[in-house]
Structure 1
């Protein structure tokens, strides 16, 4: 994918997640069945995940040399997706800095604004990179190891999609929300 395609992919992944969470009641935004992360916590997690990507995109490239240079071509979006899924299947979980606290209803609007702000930053910062630089520089990922900048952008888009699908599936459980909440409480 070229830069423009990556921008579109990122825009879509952030916008679709945001649009879906906008459809949830405050109750569904902050409460989750069976001890899973709520929609608010998942949004917070995605914000926490996007911030270091934006930090890396905004750094002078000289500093990124600290992480080494990529020796090959970047993997494709599908390869990054499949690698991430494999890590999750083997028990990979979010590391401490990316684990969100409990979310309250009054945090909903600020979280939504911060989420879209991270998207806007990412798209603007991406403009400062050439196609070649996206494949040359790499950054560390807590579960996937070193990724090229292009790969970390693919990961970010897929990561948003992964959490969106999780929330969408939760809503398709064909159980009234009250029943799910009751199981959580009792």
Structure 2
């Protein structure tokens, strides 16, 4: 499906809000524990914020500076096509680059991390309003795994990326092991 600016904004709002709503349900130990070597909820929140910040910043740049990344020469892909391509890249073994990897997260950091994440959501919303439909397809941004992609696709990616990490967190919750058992495995 090809999403227009308003549909993109709605999708972004939904994925940001759903992620924060879920993270707010977690007890502190579940917010900070890294089960089986996976990122904790707090680390995933930090990773998402780090990955969104350059996008929200770039949307505020003068468009002439974005010409540095070239002009898109093809129509933007649909949301589903972009998601499928990203999933293929992940399946091939791609991982977050160093700049986007989270550090150690403590329970006391949760409010600040959530504020920072939601601040990026608000920046994206405000800056997206200044973009025309044509400009979303014309200008590109570099993505560390996907290469240079149109702004529209970068926004698709941002929404999907939030959902991808939320799904991973929920899957960790549904695994047959209790958090207490996982904590014991980490300690002993």
Q: Does 1:124 align with 2:138?
A: no
Number of residue equivalences: 186
Unpaired segments ≥5 residues, structure 2: none
**Is 1:156 aligned to 2:158, yes or no?**
yes
Asked whether the 8 Å contact 1:33–1:183 carries over to 2, the reply is no
Give the alignment's Cα RMSD to 1 decimal.
Answer: 0.7
Distance 1:29 1:5 in 2: 31
Matching of residues 4-43 of structure 1 within 5 Å: 4-43=6-45
Q: If the length of structure 2 is used for normalisation, what is the TM-score? A: 0.97
State the alpha-carbon separation in 2 of the partners of residues 25 and 105 from structure 1.
Answer: 9
Counterpart CA distance in 2 for 1:167 and 1:184 is 18
**Residues 57-102 of structure 1: per-residue CA shift (max 9 Å, x gap):** 0100000000000001101111111111101100000001100101
Find 2:144's aligned residue among 133, 142, 145.
Answer: 142
Equivalent residue for 1:3? Answer: 5
2:60 to 49, 58, 61: 58
CA distance in 2, matches of 1:184, 1:73: 49
2:115 is the counterpart of 1:113: yes
Distance 1:148 1:111 in 2: 28
- Shift of residue 184, structure 1, vs aligned partner: 2.6
Supply the distance in 2 between the matched residues of 1:112 and 1:24 (Cα, whole angstroms): 13
Distance 2:75 2:186 in 1: 46
Q: Which consecutive segments of 4 or more residues in structure 1 shift more than 3 A?
A: none
Residues 145-184 of structure 1 show CA distances to partners (whole Å, capped at 9, x for unaligned) of: 0110000000000000000000000000122111112223
- Number of the residue aligned with 1:165: 167
Q: Secondary structure at the match of 2:51?
A: helix
For structure 1, list consecutive stretches of 5 or more residues without a partner in the other structure.
none
User: Matched residue of 2:149: which SS?
Assistant: strand
User: CA separation in 1, counterparts of 2:133 and 2:168?
Assistant: 32
User: TM-score scaled to structure 1, two decimals?
Assistant: 0.98
Other-structure match for 2:101: 99
